[in-house]
């Protein structure tokens, strides 16, 4: 892996090993040579001015067509995982870092992290017990697009005390904060590295830091550590070298066992075994094939030193923990309890002022090297990314990758395949078409419509707009979806999809900012009251009496697209609504707690919209029918800002939008009766005979 060597800090040399420098230099020379060979190629004769103009026009036309046609999400089904590297890559790269000849601790920045966005915050990675600084190797490319990444490398032979490591990190933090005082600095620490991060944060409460602690070491399990220390003390010093010689001899002489391990660790061989078991076997084989590297990474004296470091670091953190003021994200593996106790994590979450605990139930000691953990996605899902003093849901939002969208498609595939959504839109001349062609391509656009029970309509609509039209809806959602309550009644991970797909806490200010940014904004005036409606209230609008969005839409000349959706009564039936649950003591208590946790966004409103209860309705599923969406003709507000400042005029337009939403719903309720494929069995038979990917017909328009 090529690396960029960063400047020295506080007298501690940051010079990389000569092998790394050679590889970096040769790679740079190679790129320069390639550029020179291209630029020095002889140019063709210059065409006449008329030909130039025609070519320019043709190029512009092609560029325009490409701009309209190209959609990065159109081939979402073929998307590959964002993280391609694995444990075997870590061990391969660690081989060179372990043999770097020693020296003091130093920072490096992998070249694959070199394409970060403008104003990206600084991320300092503090390694765990391995000390290589390669713990983020699976995440370098993706994190490198949004962070300026520096990794700390602690050579195997280095014996720098914990307090001096803390000083090195602290001086780097202070130097970068002085250079760019408005840029936040992220400290990502793993195991013992998490202790170092907490110590630095405790010593610098006035510097803008964000901490990401991965399985932080909170205590030393003496029941396990003491026998290990005793065993290490009696082992001969030359054992690692002996192991290395045995493996080297085996490989050189064609030993059958080592040859088999090398072959089986090949990606193709393991993929043939398939599934999760194949991934686990691949990692086991990778470790087996790289035992010499591990033996050089953890020689006896280094392990004994690391254990002493660990004890000192944990004691230091526990004495300083109350001084930490930085916001903190703790990633806690479900299968790692060697160096931490959940009781300590609970204490941290109560002690640290702004702390989020994220449990990785299926992961072990080194989650950042395991499948299923994507640190960039976790940062998005916890709203932990920021370029300024605090997270801004609009300017700090990061678009989903194609694979992240594919994960949403996979998560909602049963709903989408089971309901076979029909989407209609209205062209400028009033023609209704079965496509999304009638939706405006350019923002600002405000989509205003009806909210199904539990928002079942959201996933098919948002996903299809992205894949078919490259329209990214920024949905305005209840602020409770963005709260990280540790004692919440529900797992907050269930709200990740709203954050990944661009949800924003609903407020007048956020509507203003989104429309100012020319976004496509999704608004449900009925909000929670519609999404948690009671029995017999399906397709009934619960909108406020006064207009809440008309004037802000007119300020930016936004088009308003009214839409209706039906089909919830064909997939489920409400059997236990809020009225029923209020009469059951246990459910009543749960409902009151959920309502209190959610908060009231319409405080002062004496109507039922201002006193909406939060609860989970009891539903009985049905054999799924079909979802139908109808987007009405866009309503222009451009040039009407002065006119709509008049409250009566704004109210007229508000009532017009509401009326059109109701008309869309009524249209769909009538038309679906004539759809021969409204029910599941006819749709399955159609796809069985025409192909499972074929579009299923619907009623005549």
Give one DSSP letter per residue of 257-315, joined into a string.
Answer: HHHHHHHHTSHHHHHTT-HHHHHHHHHHHHHHHTHHHHHHHS-HHHHHHHHHHHHHHHH
What is the per-residue pLDDT for 338?
A: 64
Measuring CA to CA, which residue among 350, 347, 369 is closest to residue 290? 369
* pLDDT computed for residue 96 by the predictor: 80
Fold for the domain defined by 402-569+623-690: Glycerol-3-phosphate (1)-acyltransferase (3.40.1130)
d(CA 506, CA 197): 35
The CA-atom distances, in angstroms, between 89 and each of 27, 84, 385 are 19, 10, 27
- The pLDDT value recorded for residue 659 is 97
Please write down the HEC assignment for all residues of 377-439.
Answer: HHHHHCCCCCCCCCCCCCCCCCCCCHHHHHHHHHHCHHHHHHHCCEEEEECCCCCEECCCCCC
pLDDT bin (cut points 50, 70, 90) of residue 336 is low
What is the mean pLDDT of the segment spanning 366-378? 91
Is 32 a residue whose pLDDT tops 50?
no
Q: Provide the residue ranges of all domains of the chain, joining segments of one domain with +.
A: 105-221+304-382, 402-569+623-690
* DSSP, res 352: S
Check pLDDT > 80 for residue 283. no
What does the block give as tokens for 363? 């992961």
- Mean pLDDT over residues 247-266, rounded? 44
* Cα 222-228-229 angle, rounded to 5 deg: 85
pLDDT-derived band at 4, boundaries 50, 70, 90: low
**pLDDT score for 462:** 97
Residue 102 is predicted with a pLDDT of 77
Q: pLDDT digits over 453-479, tens only?
A: 999 999 999 999 999 999 999 999 999
| pLDDT number for residue 318 | 87
DSSP, res 502: T
Across the range 486-495, mean pLDDT stands at 79
Q: What is the pLDDT of residues 139-160, one digit of tens each?
A: 999 999 999 999 999 998 899 9
Q: Would you place residue 65 in the very low, low, confident or very high pLDDT band (cuts 50, 70, 90)?
A: very low
Retrieve residue 472's tokens.
Answer: 């990214």
List the one residue out of 80, 96, 69, 75 whose CA is nearest residue 3. 96
Give residue 274's pLDDT.
Answer: 42
- Tell me the C-alpha distance between 549 and 632, whole Å: 17
pLDDT greater at residue 40 or residue 136:
136
Average pLDDT over residues 619-635: 96
Residue 635 has pLDDT above 50, yes or no: yes
Lowest mean pLDDT among 335-344, 522-531, 620-629: 335-344
pLDDT of residue 415: 95
**What percentage of the chain carries pLDDT values higher than 90?**
56
Q: Beta-carbon neighbour count of residue 298 at 10 Å?
A: 18
Contact 148, 85 (CB under 8 A): no
| Closest of 366, 350, 349 to residue 358, by C-alpha | 349
CATH classification (class only), 105-221+304-382: alpha beta
Q: Answer yes or no: is pLDDT of 657 > 70.
A: yes
- Mean pLDDT for the chain overall: 82
User: What is the side-by-side order of every strand in the sheet holding 148-153?
Assistant: 3-5, 106-110, 148-153, 122-126, 185-190, 209-214, 327-333, 354-360
pLDDT band, residue 273 (cuts 50/70/90):
very low
- Identify the pLDDT of residue 284: 57
Question: Is the model more confident about 39 or about 3?
Answer: 3
What's the mean pLDDT in 27-52?
32
Helix (H), strand (E) at residue 360: strand 354-360
The encoded tokens of residue 273 equal 């075994």
Query: Is residue 601 over pLDDT 90?
Result: no
Residue the block writes with tokens 């075997």: 88
Whether the predicted pLDDT of 561 surpasses 70: yes
Confidence of residue 680 (pLDDT cuts 50, 70, 90): very high
Q: What is the mean pLDDT of residues 634-650?
A: 93
Q: Is the pLDDT of residue 534 over 70?
A: yes
| pLDDT over 70 percentage in the chain | 77
Whole-prediction pTM: 0.83
The predicted structure's pLDDT at residue 228: 53
Q: Are strands 445-449 and 559-566 parallel, antiparallel or unpaired?
A: parallel
Token output for 178: 């002085």
- What per-residue confidence (pLDDT) applies to 55? 39
pLDDT band per the 50, 70, 90 thresholds, residue 324: very high
Is pLDDT larger for residue 99 or for residue 654? Answer: 654
Residue 16: what pLDDT? 38
pLDDT level of residue 693 (50, 70, 90 thresholds) = confident
State residue 52's pLDDT score: 41
Identify the weakest region by mean pLDDT among 45-59, 295-309, 383-397, 445-459: 45-59
Q: Calculate mean pLDDT across residues 216-243.
A: 56
- Is residue 502 within 8 A of residue 397, CB to CB? The reply is yes
Contacts of residue 249, Cβ cutoff 8 Å, sequence gap at least 6: 255
| CB-count burial class (<10 Å; 0-12, 13-18, 19+) for 39 | exposed
pLDDT of residue 302: 82
């Amino acid at each position: 892996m090529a690396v960029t060597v960063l400047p020295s800090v506080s007298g501690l040399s940051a010079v990389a090993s000569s092998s790394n420098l050679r590889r970096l230099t040769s790679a740079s020379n190679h790129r320069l040579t390639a550029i020179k060979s291209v630029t020095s190629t002889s140019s063709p004769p210059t065409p006449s001015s008329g030909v130039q103009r025609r070519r320019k026009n043709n190029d512009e036309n092609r560029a325009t067509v490409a701009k309209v046609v190209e959609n990065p999400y159109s081939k979402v089904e073929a998307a590959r995982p964002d993280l391609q590297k694995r444990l075997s890559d870590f061990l391969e790269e660690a081989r060179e870092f372990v043999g770097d000849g020693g020296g003091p601790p130093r920072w490096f920045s992998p070249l694959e992290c070199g394409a970060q966005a403008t104003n990206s915050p600084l991320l300092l990675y503090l390694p765990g017990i391995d000390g290589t600084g390669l713990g983020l190797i699976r995440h370098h490319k993706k994190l490198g697009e949004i962070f300026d990444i520096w990794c700390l490398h602690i050579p195997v032979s280095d014996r720098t005390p914990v307090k001096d490591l803390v000083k090195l990190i602290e001086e780097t933090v202070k130097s970068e904060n002085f250079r760019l005082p408005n840029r936040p600095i992220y400290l990502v620490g793993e195991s013992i590295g998490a202790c170092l991060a907490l110590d630095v944060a405790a010593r610098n409460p006035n510097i803008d830091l964000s901490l990401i602690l991965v399985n932080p070491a909170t205590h030393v399990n003496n029941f396990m550590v003491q026998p290990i220390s005793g065993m290490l003390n009696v082992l001969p010093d030359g054992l690692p070298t002996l192991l290395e010689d045995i493996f080297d001899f085996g490989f050189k002489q064609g030993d059958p066992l080592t040859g088999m391990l090398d072959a089986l660790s090949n990606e193709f061989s393991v993929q043939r075994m398939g599934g999760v078991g194949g991934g686990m076997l691949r990692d086991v084989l990778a470790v087996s094939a790289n035992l010499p590297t591990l033996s050089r990474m953890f020689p006896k004296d280094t392990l004994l030193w690391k254990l002493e470091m660990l004890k000192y670091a944990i004691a230091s953190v526990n004495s300083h923990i109350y001084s930490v003021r930085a916001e903190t994200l703790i990633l806690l593996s479900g299968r790692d309890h060697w160096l931490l106790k959940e009781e300590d994590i609970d204490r941290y979450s109560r002690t640290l002022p702004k702390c989020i605990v994220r449990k990785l139930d299926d992961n072990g000691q080194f989650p950042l090297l395991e499948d299923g953990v994507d640190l960039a996605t976790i940062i998005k899902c916890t709203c932990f990314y920021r370029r300024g003093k605090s997270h801004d849901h609009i300017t700090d939002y990061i678009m989903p990758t194609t694979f992240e969208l594919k994960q949403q498609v996979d998560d909602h595939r049963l709903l989408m395949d089971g309901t076979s959504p029909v989407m209609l839109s209205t062209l400028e001349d009033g023609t209704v078409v079965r496509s999304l062609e009638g939706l405006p391509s350019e923002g600002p656009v405000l989509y205003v419509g009806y909210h199904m029970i539990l928002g079942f309509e959201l996933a098919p609509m948002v996903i299809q707009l992205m894949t078919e039209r490259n329209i990214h809806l920024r949905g305005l959602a209840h602020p409770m979806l963005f709260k990280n309550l540790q004692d919440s009644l529900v797992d907050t991970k269930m709200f990740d999809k709203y954050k990944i797909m661009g949800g924003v806490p609903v407020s007048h200010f956020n509507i203003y900012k989104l429309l100012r940014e020319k976004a496509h904004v999704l608004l449900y005036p009925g909000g929670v009251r519609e999404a948690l409606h009671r029995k017999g209230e399906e397709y009934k609008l619960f909108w406020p009496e006064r207009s809440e969005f008309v004037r802000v839409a007119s300020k930016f000349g936004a088009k308003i697209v009214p839409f209706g959706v039906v089909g919830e009564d064909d997939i489920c039936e409400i059997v236990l609504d809020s009225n029923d649950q209020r009469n059951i003591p246990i459910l009543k208590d749960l409902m009151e707690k959920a309502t209190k946790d959610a908060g009231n966004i319409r405080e002062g409103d004496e109507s039922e919209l201002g006193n909406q209860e939060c609860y989970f309705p009891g539903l009985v599923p049905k054999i799924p029918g079909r979802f139908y969406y109808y987007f009405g003709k866009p309503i222009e507000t451009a040039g009407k800002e002065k006119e709509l400042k008049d409250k009566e005029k704004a109210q007229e337009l508000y009532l017009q939008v509401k009326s059109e939403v109701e008309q869309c719903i009524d249209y769909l309720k009538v038309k679906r009766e004539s759809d021969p494929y409204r029910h599941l069995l006819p749709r399955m038979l159609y796809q069985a005979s025409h192909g499972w990917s074929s579009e299923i017909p619907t009623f005549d328009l």
